[in-house]
Amino acid sequence: MKKPATLQIRFPSRLLDALFDKETEFDGSLPDYCPDVTRLVRVDCTPYIDACDIGSDKVHVSGRVVYDVLYETDRRNKLRYCSFTQEFHHSADLPRNELESPVGECTASCNKITCRMLSPRRLVLHARLELHVTVCGEASYRMLSTEPSDGLFFRKKLFRYDSPAETVRGENHFEETLSLLQGEKNVGELIFSNVSLQPPQVTVTPGCVTAKTTAVIKVFYETEDAEGGFCMTAKNVPLTVTVEDPAIEEGKRCTVSLAAAGCGVLPELDQYGENRLLKASFTVTSAATLVGTREVEAADDLFSVDSVDTLDRTELSVPHLAETVDRSFTVDLKLPADEPLFTALYDTTVRAGRVRATQAEGGVELTGTLTVSMLGDGNDGIQHRDCTEEFVQFVPTELPADCAELSAEVSPFEVLPTLHSDGSISARVICNAHLALYTKESVSFLSDVTKQTELDRSDETYSVAYFFPSRTDDLWTVAKKYRVDPDRLRLANPDAFDDLGRLNAGVKTLLIRKAMFA
């Protein structure tokens, strides 16, 4: 009696998928080159993730928070801008980590920020971050080898599964020269600038991922004229970002996330000697996540000609990324009249938070919050206001019949505000929803033979014998019943079975003994 060999097979597994709140606080003073603060106008918080490391029982996230502070000096309507950076760390417990090559990913967003002035030069900035941490990898399982062996026969099953995500990172630097429009006033002194990216369109070719996006570059400046006013200009610049790596294959599914950082803007003179040009430089970091498909041939059943075998079986539920869906939708918000009242708006931005996705009939229901941040002229000079509103949005899409789970990201990429005479503000927000739809397949395979009992075949005869099959019989069940080579059984009954081993219609009897001793 020969016991079949075993081998190790690895399947994708998600060890952690969780949200964590992280409190950060910065207590510091203005740089020496900055004048004193008389009034805070706006404080923004942008978190960046630098690393997500996996330990034996914990995941460790490290990153930094960039606080951007817009404030007024002792000269009325004289604005200044400064930035602070603070590192942060967060650790979370992991379930028992037996994954091979685990990979951690983390995204971060700011849900709330508060600021206190302790003196004209000292600030305390407090932010509440939301960290979305996932840890994926490959779990190892024992599986019987299906290598051919004398007197041992396998029923085999081929199944496919998604290979663990592989992330390829890249970095592209851009320099763009922007011209002011005819109605925009000449640049006096720059106050601040930033750049945001719209959701990309992705194409995959061998060795390269190409993502086309639009960079929205905003520059807030004091005008050159004697009135001492302010102006916000926004420019849309089409960009092409590439990620090159030999691991990129055309058949693989790919998602790309982009982030812009380090935006610097300098004024330049145009051909007429006027301050109407802006030279912007910034860096776009990219992460292309690739998902491939693997095939495994597993033993679904076995028998031996000379033993009765006791078998161990492993049952798994294997996730498959069925498809990704991108949909645009609009949300109309009515922001109530409140202090401060705006007479004009310079800048309006939106960020999404607490996004949740649930299956609904005919599509997906998204819930979350939209925080509208507004900068404009008020009765007491430049004012800032944040408003957070909840939203519920149904996104129609055809879900797989066996959709087991889904994830969603919502990215606002345009906002159209309108000021009303009563002080209220309406805003139409255009968002992009990126949905990932997953199915799950139940997989079963033999993992070991725990016991073999020798079969007594001394009473077998060499006479010709026939078997009368039932509707549920097929090539495998008959071969296993009589412990006969399935290929010999097929040769002895050439018209009895189709290519899949099923009984052909009208078959009443099968020749058995000839198959056993041919």
Give start-end residues of each CATH 3.10.350 domain in the chain. 456-517
Of 281, 82, 271, nearest to 179 by C-alpha is 271
Per run of 10 residues, the mean pLDDT along the chain (length 518 residues) is 84 86 93 90 91 89 94 81 94 80 87 90 94 88 89 90 79 92 90 90 88 94 81 93 81 82 89 93 89 86 90 89 88 80 88 90 92 87 88 90 87 90 88 90 91 78 80 93 92 93 92 78
Of 282, 448, 350, 301, nearest to 44 by C-alpha is 350
**Candidate CATH numbers 1.10.357, 3.30.1380, 2.30.30, 3.10.350; the one for domain 456-517:** 3.10.350
pTM (two decimals): 0.80
Q: Which segments within 145-251 are labelled E, that is strand? A: 152-162, 166-179, 187-197, 201-205, 208-223, 230-244
Contact 207, 248 (CB under 8 A): yes
For residue 412, is the peptide bond before it cis, meaning its omega torsion is within 30 degrees of 0?
no
pLDDT at 336: 79
Output b/e per residue, 441-473; b: 16+ Cβ within 10 A.
Answer: eebebbbbbeeeeeeeeeeeeeeeeebebeeeb
pLDDT at 221: 92
- Could you give the count of Cα atoms lying within 13 Å of 133 in the half-sphere of its Cβ? 30
pLDDT at 255: 82
- Could you give the count of Cα atoms lying within 13 Å of 488 in the half-sphere of its Cβ? 15
